[in-house]
Amino acid sequence: LPKEILKCRYCGFESLGNRYYWRCPKCGKPLIITYEDFKAPTISELRRAVSKLSSIWVFSKWLPQVSDMVTLGEGLTPIVRKVLRGVNVYFKLDYLNPTGSFKDRGASLTISKVLSLGLRSVVEDSSGNAGVSITCYGVVAGLSVRVYAPKTSLRSKLDLIRALGGKVVETKDRYEANVKALNGLSENEVYVGHLWNPYFIEGLKTLAYELAIQLGKVLSNETYVLIPTSSGGNLLGCYKGFKEAIEGGVVIDLPKLIAIQAQSPAPIYEGFHNVKLNYEETTLADGLRVKNPPRLNEIINALRESRGGVIIVTDQEILRALKALLKMGFIVEPTSATAYAAFNKLVDDGVLGRGDNIVLILTGSGLKSINDLLRWCERQGSYT
Amino acid sequence: LPKEILKCRYCGFESLGNRYYWRCPKCGKPLIITYEDFKAPTISELRRAVSKLSSIWVFSKWLPQVSDMVTLGEGLTPIVRKVLRGVNVYFKLDYLNPTGSFKDRGASLTISKVLSLGLRSVVEDSSGNAGVSITCYGVVAGLSVRVYAPKTSLRSKLDLIRALGGKVVETKDRYEANVKALNGLSENEVYVGHLWNPYFIEGLKTLAYELAIQLGKVLSNETYVLIPTSSGGNLLGCYKGFKEAIEGGVVIDLPKLIAIQAQSPAPIYEGFHNVKLNYEETTLADGLRVKNPPRLNEIINALRESRGGVIIVTDQEILRALKALLKMGFIVEPTSATAYAAFNKLVDDGVLGRGDNIVLILTGSGLKSINDLLRWCERQGSYT
């Protein structure tokens, strides 16, 4: 098995995976993961692996080493193809993960690593889904878990964290959650916040592996992959996974990665286009509230290399998309619906047309907001 | 592709699958499905099929013929192994289906068939999950859907049916839901109720196919498979799927099928043991409320042939099991927790011991009752 190396691309710091770092201990920048003796996956290796139908750990040959796997059957999620407005749309149903969001891929790997290193307490900051996910895996591993979350989070998500046995600390907003999580860290606690955590991204790359076997030659540099993006973990994970799948000959070329953001905050849009927007903060896309993603540079580089970009969508567009997805049977939350709203924009703008291929990552389950769904569906006309 | 035959084992009626029957048009008994030229699946065929990671339709070679597949990525759910009290416990996470329950396997096949036959309106009776599932697939297919459900159903499930676009008719209890669904049937409507519907069972057999590839030789006549059972569709589907997997050489022998019921109603327990119980109706296991399963004889035969049986569990045991599952990270509903409660009984009674293998089917998601989970978890001591 390959052995992972935690690496800082800014100052050159390197460490074998036998100690947990959430950022570079020398210069404070985000870390990435590379491997000694990494052999990229081939198509037959991937096919054989997934036939076990168990979890992302079927890919353990290409993941960091752990002595304990904390798994709840995350990953290996289905894909559904539909022809919509002449376009081949591939929906990746990553909301069908154990706790109802794609975060489970990252949480499973992170908690497994933390447990393997003998650590006992983790701290996360989250607007909801990552908090649920880290809590769930953390509690299964016997760790103590504390989650800092904005008080505007969905009540049902915070209650679920509590039901699972996590401690919730409510904060003024998403920014304060991040600050307090870091400031409140005691000696024996480890910060696993997905904004920084390199293992989180490494778990998320399995999503690209799956798309590689599910879609094969459909993935080219003309294919669009739309990813709702807040701190960028999913996008960076996909970027990394696709690069490795290309190396192994499973995919021909890097698809166009498109980050989807709400009307505000939209730091990736602003950074990519070097502008400053002045919209009201989204009230619907509760998962897209990160204002200062620490990996902004990495994200912009991945978007540029893939010849992709950023799309922002308004709350009104999100609501319309949410209702449309529900009528297609995809029970997702507003944050996921941003991807479908962006797809419609691309067709409206003539960027996408008949015969084009597009992948929409549906990231979070609507069952977590089941008590709001009917209310949203019944809302008529404009949304403010 | 093999062609299915609808068959009545009571009067000998047979029909090719070009017309929909919910029961035998000659004698009124439940129908089963057989095939012309059925070739049972082999292990390599199953492995190749599931590597596509899409849906139960990877098994279409062994399913009824349809011209339109209505799929939301149902099936191909993960399995997680844990050693608990010395026993190898395999959790089949069938709650990770598109609408949050195993019913999606049956609904996908049923709605696909109904659509392929050119029918436009379906009627279902359900305590919740089947109603959500049939509505979701029905609406995707463009059908009109009416669901009769007891007014004691979880509000969140009924709201979800409405949000998806289904019509809910609330009834006094589960029995009245069934009676009214049948009485209210108009000329151009078709009754797809899972208590009778032979296609439902045919879709559910894919669960056994998956267990066959996931567990292989672990499945023997010493292995227990615990299935929460109301009208018996899942149990009969598993029975059929295992028989076919044995025919194809994927599984060696039929595992012991164990039906799990609540304290009341427990018609399968009563029928199997030929007794009459007198307990209070369950207030927790909302999915186990069928009092007169039309396929009772078939169920009892499957249990006997597999040398299995029936276990009943009390509400107090269900609540304890639900909390324990949550601490293991399995976010399920009380109906699913019955399986874990029954597992504990088998160990307590010395039936199961060190090194034994047991499969627990976790049937429904806890996210649908997300607003009740915390309340249940906080409930101390005894439950009434």
- pLDDT digit string (tens) for A96-110? 999 999 999 999 999
Distance from the Cα of B203 to chain A's closest Cα (Å) equals 17
Q: Is the pLDDT of residue A39 over 50?
A: yes
Whether the CB-CB separation of A48 and A14 falls below 8 Å is answered with: no
* Contact check, Cβ <8 Å, B373/A79: no
In the predicted model, what is the mean pLDDT of residues B215-239?
Answer: 96
Residue A11's Cβ-count burial label (10 Å; 0-12, 13-18, 19+) is exposed
Confidence of residue A384 (pLDDT cuts 50, 70, 90): very low
The least confident of A148-152, A207-211, A370-374, B379-383 is B379-383
Contacts of B301 (CB under 8 A, 6+ apart): none
The reply to whether B330 touches chain A by the CB within 8 Å rule is yes
The reply to whether B53 touches chain A by the CB within 8 Å rule is yes
**Across the interface, which of A50, A139, A368 has its CB nearest the CB of B370?**
A368
Q: How far apart are CA B120 and CA B114, in angstroms?
A: 8
Distance from the Cα of A156 to chain B's closest Cα (Å) equals 6
Confidence of residue A374 (pLDDT cuts 50, 70, 90): confident
Taking CA atoms, what residue in A is nearest to B375?
Answer: A163
Taking CA atoms, what residue in A is nearest to B216?
Answer: A52
In the predicted model, what is the mean pLDDT of residues A57-79?
Answer: 95
Where do we find the tokens 């998403």?
Answer: A174
Paired with B262 in beta bridges are B313
* Contact check, Cβ <8 Å, B159/A368: no
User: Nearest to residue A294, comparing CAs of A196, A173, A178, A177?
Assistant: A196
Distance from the Cα of B139 to chain A's closest Cα (Å) equals 7
Question: How do residues A165-200 score in pLDDT, each as one tens digit?
Answer: 999 999 999 999 999 999 989 989 999 999 999 999
The reply to whether B326 touches chain A by the CB within 8 Å rule is yes
pLDDT-above-90 percentage for chain B: 89
Question: SS3 of B181, please?
Answer: helix
User: Do you find a cis peptide bond into A64, omega within 30 degrees of 0?
Assistant: no
Q: How many residues does chain A have?
A: 384
pLDDT of res. A380: 62
Where do we find the tokens 């904390």?
Answer: A70
Contacts of B203 (CB under 8 A, 6+ apart): B56, B63, B105, B106, B107, B108, B109, B110, B237
Measured on CA atoms in the order B211, B212, B217, B220, is the torsion positive or negative?
positive
* Contact check, Cβ <8 Å, B370/A367: yes
Question: How do residues B275-301 score in pLDDT, each as one tens digit?
Answer: 999 999 999 999 999 999 999 999 999
* Contact check, Cβ <8 Å, B163/A51: no
* Buried-state track B285-320, b at ≥16 Cβ within 10 A, e below 16: bbbbbbeebbbbebbbebbeebebbbbbbbbebbbb
Element (H, E) at A336: helix A334-348
In the predicted model, what is the mean pLDDT of residues B158-166?
Answer: 96
Residue A384's Cβ-count burial label (10 Å; 0-12, 13-18, 19+) is exposed
Confidence of residue B384 (pLDDT cuts 50, 70, 90): very low
Whether the CB-CB separation of B332 and B376 falls below 8 Å is answered with: no
**Across the interface, which of B140, B163, B328 has its CB nearest the CB of A374?**
B163
pLDDT of res. A49: 86
Longest Cα–Cα distance of chain A, Å, equals: 57
**Number of C-beta neighbours around residue B324 at 10 A:** 15
Q: How far apart are CA A282 and CA A270, in angstroms?
A: 16
Q: How far apart are CA B193 and CA A304, in angstroms?
A: 53
Residues of A in contact with B68 (CB under 8 A): none
- Token pair in block for residue B104: 């999606």
Residues of A in contact with B100 (CB under 8 A): 331, 367
Cα–Cα distances in Å, from A381 out to A279, A321, A343, B261, B378? 20, 13, 21, 47, 41
**Across the interface, which of A99, A214, A370 has its CB nearest the CB of B53?**
A214
Q: How far apart are CA B218 and CA A205, in angstroms?
A: 31
Whether the CB-CB separation of B195 and B293 falls below 8 Å is answered with: yes
Measured on CA atoms in the order A338, A344, A349, A354, is the torsion positive or negative?
positive
Q: Is the pLDDT of residue B145 over 80?
A: yes
User: Nearest to residue B300, comparing CAs of B335, B262, B336, B273?
Assistant: B273
Where do we find the tokens 């045991």?
Answer: B317
Distance from the Cα of B305 to chain A's closest Cα (Å) equals 29
Residue A318's Cβ-count burial label (10 Å; 0-12, 13-18, 19+) is buried
Question: How do residues A223-241 score in pLDDT, each as one tens digit?
Answer: 999 999 999 999 999 999 9
Residue B335's Cβ-count burial label (10 Å; 0-12, 13-18, 19+) is buried
Q: How far apart are CA A275 and CA B222, in angstroms?
A: 67
Element (H, E) at A83: strand A79-84
Sequence-ordered alpha helix ranges (H) in A18-173: 43-50, 103-116, 129-140, 155-164
Strand (E) positions, A8-65? 14-16, 32-36
The reply to whether B250 touches chain A by the CB within 8 Å rule is no
In the predicted model, what is the mean pLDDT of residues A30-39?
Answer: 91
User: Do you find a cis peptide bond into A265, omega within 30 degrees of 0?
Assistant: yes
Q: How far apart are CA B48 and CA B345, in angstroms?
A: 38
Whether the CB-CB separation of B356 and B89 falls below 8 Å is answered with: no
**Number of C-beta neighbours around residue B381 at 10 A:** 5
> What secondary structure, in 3-state letters, does B304-355 show?
HHCCCEEEEECHHHHHHHHHHHHHCCCCECHHHHHHHHHHHHHHHCCCCCCC
pLDDT of res. B380: 62
Taking CA atoms, what residue in A is nearest to B214?
Answer: A52
**Across the interface, which of A73, A213, A373 has its CB nearest the CB of B51?**
A213
User: Nearest to residue A136, comparing CAs of A97, A89, A175?
Assistant: A97
Paired with B34 in beta bridges are B5
Residue A37's Cβ-count burial label (10 Å; 0-12, 13-18, 19+) is exposed
**Across the interface, which of B76, B97, B326 has its CB nearest the CB of A163?**
B326
Whether the CB-CB separation of B212 and B219 falls below 8 Å is answered with: yes
Q: Is the pLDDT of residue A345 over 90?
A: yes
Q: What is the ipTM of this complex?
A: 0.94
pLDDT of res. A159: 94
**Number of C-beta neighbours around residue A231 at 10 A:** 30
pTM of the model: 0.95
Q: How far apart are CA B59 and CA A215, in angstroms?
A: 19
The reply to whether A47 touches chain B by the CB within 8 Å rule is yes
In the predicted model, what is the mean pLDDT of residues B232-260?
Answer: 96
